[in-house]
Chains A and B, each alone.
Chain A
Amino acid sequence: MRVLAAMSGGVDSAVAAARAVAAGYDVTGVHLALARNPQTYRTGARGCCTLEDSRDARRAADVIGIPFYVWDMADRFHEDVVDDFVAEYAAGRTPNPCLRCNEKIKFAAVLDRAVALGFDAVVTGHHARLGADGLLRRSVDLAKDQSYVLAVLTREQLDRSIFPLGDSTKAQVRAEAAERGLAVADKPDSHDICFIADGDTRGFLAGRLGEAPGEVVDASTGAVVGSHSGAYAYTVGQRRGLHLDRPAPDGRPRYVLSITPKTNTVTVGPAEALDVSDVHAVRPVWTGGARPDAPVECEVQLRAHGDVVPATVALDGDRLHAELRRPVRGVAAGQAVVAYRPDPAGDVVLGSATITG
């Protein structure tokens, strides 16, 4: 089997590629150049798209002994991930760009190109299990589990994906990298958003969307309690950075309850007002077996690394409805609701959909 290993320059994808070789695949390494101007992306240890990362990936491919190329995916990435990220915030939603990148770039544009060029599958260093049964499961390393950002993948995409790391902890992956002589063994993990160089999402959005001063309104009284320079910069559930002029009458902290792009208003209120028991979502994908006709008892996760709650999930055409057993605080539109079936061999991803409210 000929497989294409997507190599970010980090330790995970390097070990994943090495394991694919060890498993007997004919492996070719590819680094995705996602930045239109790589200098503006995060440097070194923290990101995945800089020139230094590209060099690290190349070096890892050399050590593993596989051919290596750089694929220019910058235009696709900007349209499908960066522009989408900005548009989602502008619409008052909270996008997850890693998820979008998996859905549109790694397991779409890259996978399609790979298949057209004669490859059978794409190998990545995601922490998730995908076994012979074709089911996507959480990694054994729950702290590193990435099944949430992979849950958007369709059956066809999963059938052409290989995740060699799902049975290992991050510590094991690092140890193996060191054993294999991969210099990235102790490279720090990447976090945050690779295309926001300084980690300042608000500043990035302000640069793209411009300043748009507006009011912060109290949900119960309707009183204006502060101002903001762009409603798009807020996320439901956010408490810090509100800069309210007046404390709440009851003296308790206030949170962002909703964002209304039309009126450019941020509405705030007490923590309880964030509680949600009904989650509505659209564009479901269902990969954990046949698409169910009847409601399913399962668990749901509503954001990356978020809590897991028992729920009843029902599908209806292009919609998904999750009734939560206990309320969850701070559910943001634009994030994914992912349904899991608890399983001792790793919780199984049943399906996912995009939260609308």
Chain B
Amino acid sequence: MAYLDHAATTPMLDEALEAYVATAREVGNASSLHAAGRRARRRVEESREQVAAVLGARPSEVIFTGGGTESDNLAVKGIFWARRSARPDRRRVVSSAVEHHAVLDAVDWLSQHEGAEVGWLPVDAVGRLDPQTLRAELAAHADQVAVVTAMWANNEVGTVQPVAELAAVAAEHGVPFHTDAIQAVGQVPVDFGASGVAALTVTGHKLGGPTGVGALLLARDVPATPLLHGGGQERDIRSGTLDTAGIVAFAVAVETAVKGQQEYAARVAALRDDLIERVRQAVPEVIYNGDPTDRLPGNAHFSFPGCEGDALLLLLDAQGIACSTGSACSAGVAQPSHVLLAMGADDDRARSSLRFTLGHTSTQADIDALIAALPAAVDRARRAAALRTPR
């Protein structure tokens, strides 16, 4: 099988898996007072320091969570609630049009159920935010803004955002800035402290750690109302018995990924560039989506004019090639990607898209397999699409 969907989830690193298994054999609740509890607590705190160290944060800024979706929800809703309760007229959320659903739907929920007003920041044709649009938004509304959220790198088209510039604009206006850095950590340099953001989401399963564990890095002076109430284990902002084995493996994966980032990015980007070159040769009319330079090293994203992404995916899957259409499954039916639409693509182009993402286990053979299967698949998908009645 050629697995070209590392942005969906990537295999666990051996180091992380071993750390997981070794820790999972040990008993102990990190909140217990006896020796077994203290041992678990020590593992958690060591992991916290490990994560903090490689991501440029202080240990007290690391809040372990049940993954990226939870961290995003905690940041967006938690900061919104806390800042609105301090000042009831502060109920505006500023977000980008290309966020992952974990942010997008949290923002939508606030607008539908909590009376939030939303300022959506547009992107350009390569999916990039312009700090000037944030500047204009905040110049007009800074007093009412509870939180700004904009991702570090886009999960579909791989575009890397000018996060430090955006964070600086938010800081000028004293508004907390959250970034979903799930796709960025381990792929591009990410330093929480140096970036100037107030909150940052990271998750395990996109960087070689386990699924269902992640963290929100949250600056000490940024208030957040909890989503989950209970034992208050994480700074009283997040409750739930700590997943010691998951946290240990997560920390190992974060450390390995961040320390190996440069070497990884160079190797994977070279493979990715080869993939792009050969896809272009095989299917000359492809459209390459996303920012050509400020981009995740493992991401290649194309529109195949005249094809439906769904059909291509099926055909490639039958040849053992795993990729993604990037379209979110809304109510069971694939919708055209909101990211592509925000970049100005029309419905047809959005629906004709496929994402190939490389990762730490990718090899030249994966790309060879893709290129061997692609032309015939495009041919067939085109014939199938020609049958479609125009919308």
Contact = CB atoms under 8 A, between A and B. Distances in A.
Interface of A: 28, 33, 37-39, 51, 54, 67, 69-72, 74-76, 79, 109, 112-113, 116-118
Contacts of B334: 70, 72
A69 B314 contact: yes
Given A113-B387, A117-B381, A118-B380, A67 B333 contact: no
B332 interface: yes
Contact of B383 (A33, A76, A116): A116
A113 B313 CA distance: 14
Contacts, number: 49
Interface of B: 310-311, 313-315, 317-318, 329, 331-334, 380-381, 383-384, 386-387, 389, 391
A135 B235 CA distance: 73
A51 B332 CA distance: 6
Nearest to B391: A75
Given A67-B317, A116-B383, A118-B315, A76 B389 contact: yes
Contacts of A75: 389, 391
B333 A72 contact: yes
Contact of B387 (A28, A33, A72, A116): A116
The 9 closest A-B pairs by CB, nearest first: A116-B384, A116-B383, A33-B333, A72-B333, A112-B387, A54-B332, A51-B332, A117-B384, A113-B384
B333 A117 contact: no
A38 B333 contact: yes
Given A67-B318, A69-B313, A117-B380, 7 more contacts: A28-B318, A70-B329, A70-B332, A75-B391, A79-B389, A113-B387, A118-B315
5 contacts: A67-B318, A71-B310, A72-B310, A74-B333, A109-B387
Contact of A117 (B311, B329, B331, B391): B311
A84 to B, nearest CB: 14
A67 to B, nearest CB: 6
A36 to B, nearest CB: 8
B1 to A, nearest CB: 13
Nearest to B334: A72
Contact of A51 (B315, B331, B386, B387): B331
B315 A33 contact: no
A13 to B, nearest CB: 17
Given A75-B391, A112-B387, A117-B384, A38 B331 contact: yes
Nearest to A30: B314
A42 B315 CA distance: 32
B389 A70 contact: no
A116 B311 CA distance: 10
A104 B132 CA distance: 52
A33 B317 CA distance: 20
Contacts of A109: 387
Contacts of A69: 310, 313-314
Contacts of A117: 311, 314-315, 380-381, 384
A76 B388 CA distance: 9
Contacts of B383: 116
B264 to A, nearest CB: 32
* Most chain B CB atoms below 10 A, which of A38, A51, A75, A117: A117
Nearest to B314: A69
A104 B336 CA distance: 25
A311 B389 CA distance: 40
A278 B267 CA distance: 79
A113 B380 CA distance: 10
Contacts of A38: 331-333
A161 B375 CA distance: 28
B106 to A, nearest CB: 21
B344 to A, nearest CB: 23
A72 B334 CA distance: 7
B352 to A, nearest CB: 14
* Most chain A CB atoms below 10 A, which of B317, B329, B333, B381: B333
A39 B334 CA distance: 15
B380 A37 contact: no
B333 A116 contact: no
Contacts of B332: 33, 38, 51, 54, 70
A109 B61 CA distance: 55
A341 B391 CA distance: 42
Nearest to A4: B314
Contacts of B313: 69
A243 B387 CA distance: 48
Nearest to A118: B380
Contacts of B311: 113, 117
A76 B329 CA distance: 19
Contacts of A39: 331
B301 to A, nearest CB: 21
A42 to B, nearest CB: 14
Nearest to A53: B332
A72 B308 CA distance: 12
